[in-house]
Amino acid sequence: QSLRALPYIVVANPHVNKIHGNYVHSLSTLLPYAEKSIETLRDEIQFTEVMADLVQTHNNTISTLARGFLEARKYITAEEVTRFLDEHLRARIGTRLIAEQHIALHFSSKPHNELKGVSDQEVHANDSSFIGVIDTALKPADIIRSCEAHVGEICELNYGVRPTIQLVGNPETTIAHIPMHLEYILTELLKNSFRATIEAGMEKEPIEITIAPAPATAEETEQLKLKTERDEDNVKHSSDSAAASGAHNTAGVISNYDQGSVDFASGSNKPEVAGRANIKPLDKRTPGVTIRIRDRGGGISPANYAKLWDYGFTTFNEDEINDKVSGGAGNGGAGLDVISGAGGGGSSLAGLGYGLPLGRAYAEYFGGGIAVQSLWGWGTDVYLSLRGVGHMQ
């Protein structure tokens, strides 16, 4: 509907029209499942295959839309583009995340592996800190190093040099988050810092990256202490009960009904169903972390600073933009293929002007954000705040 609300001449653009067609196809593919119950493992496998095909179909949505809006920029204002993309991309992040989470859980499930002839030993060999696409023990420092290597290769390809980074703060910090989201955000931020540093002739100055976990408040510390004592009492009580009656130990288990995270459509919120659930809850206290990227790249001019969060704003000139729109050798749009993260590639340090606002959308989706402080003539500080998607008990 949001695409249809755009001016006709914009939707008629081949790139925008292609995306509209993809969404119509996806809707027609999923509509039958609104009336169809998934009752067997075979049904679930078939549904997952459909979801995987749709995820693949929409892989290049962002870069395709970017090219479409660039070609149609005479017929739509920057404010209209920003308003549309703010709404559309946030919805896309959510729907794509749900689809990828389902697919990841599907392929990690024991029943599925049994159907495929995978042994229990192979299943347990893949055990990790992941729940679907969520890494409950994600180390931002590891993602930073990975993105540094990726962006550094782009620097060497384009400029023949690569800046270095210096990690300070608490590199051992962990957080429950989605690695692909963080990879995309950090890749875009490092592209900007590396490019500015090189073009300012300051590549010998390391880019300082500080990782600062949010400190626990006094109230949170006291609550955690009380909770730990309560859990220990529950475990002891449950163990005593199990020894006396032969019952299974259910300490630390919470039902869907009690948790409030229920599926009304499937009826899993009913007490008789929820009572059989065996789901560990996510702690409501979600610790956060702030990452500061400080460079000596000369800062951002006041004129450019005002346009920093506009979709489509880029420091490339008109000829370079047209080259990208026409599919020239720049290939900077490859990095816009979101969710695939840093692995999306791209051989340019500047693209179509979607990296920074889109990175902020990813950060804000779980309550974080991006703030930029520029000292024109010296350098730039970028603050990336992340909020964990949960904390496992």
Render pLDDT for 171-206 as a digit per residue (tens, 0 to 9): 999 999 999 999 999 999 999 999 999 999 999 999
In a domain, residue 61? The reply is: yes
Same domain, 48 and 111: yes
State the pLDDT at residue 303.
92
Q: Are residues 147 and 185 in the same domain?
A: yes
* 267 and 232 fall within a common domain: no
345 and 272 share a domain?
A: no
Give 384's contacts (C-beta < 8 A, 6+ positions apart).
185, 186, 189, 290, 291, 292, 293, 363, 368, 369, 370
Residue 249 counted as domain residue:
no
Q: How far apart are CA 268 and CA 256, in angstroms?
A: 7
Res 74: pLDDT? 92
The predicted structure's pLDDT at residue 337: 35
- Which domain range does residue 144 map to? 134-214+287-392
Closest CA to 359 of 311, 292, 293, 302: 311
- Whole-angstrom distance, CA of residue 308 vs CA of residue 157: 26
Segments of the chain with pLDDT less than 50: 118-125, 242, 245-284, 328-350
Tell me if 1 is assigned to some domain: no
Same domain, 36 and 113: yes
How much is the CA Rg of the chain, to the nearest whole Å?
A: 24
Nearest of 212, 199, 180, 226 to residue 350 by alpha carbon: 199
**CATH code at 184?**
3.30.565.10
Residues 68 and 158 in one domain: no
How many domains does one find in the chain? 4
On whether residue 3 sits in a domain, the answer given is no
User: What residues have CB less than 8 Å from 41, skipping those under 6 apart?
Assistant: 111, 112, 115
- Domain contains 2: no
- At 214 the pLDDT is 86
Same domain, 228 and 324: no
Q: Tell me what pLDDT residue 142 has.
A: 97
183 with 59, same domain: the answer is: no
Identify the pLDDT of residue 389. Answer: 82
Domain holding 24: CATH number?
A: 1.20.140.20
Q: Are residues 148 and 94 in the same domain?
A: no
Residue carrying the six token digits 């179909």: 57
User: Rounded to 5 degrees, what are φ and ψ at 344?
Assistant: -65, -20
- Quick one: 300 and 209 in the same domain? yes
Query: Any bridge partners for residue 2, and if so which?
Result: none
pLDDT at 78: 87
Contacts of 102 (CB under 8 A, 6+ apart): 48, 51, 132
The pTM of this model reads 0.75
d(CA 302, CA 81): 22
List b or e across 203-239, with b for residues whose CB sees 16 or more CB atoms inside 10 angstroms. bebbbbbbbbbbeeeeeeeeeeeeeeeeeeeeeeebe
Please indicate, yes or no, whether residues 180 and 120 belong to a single structural domain of this protein.
no
Q: Is residue 202 part of a domain?
A: yes
Hey, which residues does 381 pair with through a beta bridge?
Answer: 294, 373
Regarding whether 272 and 167 lie in a shared domain, the answer is no
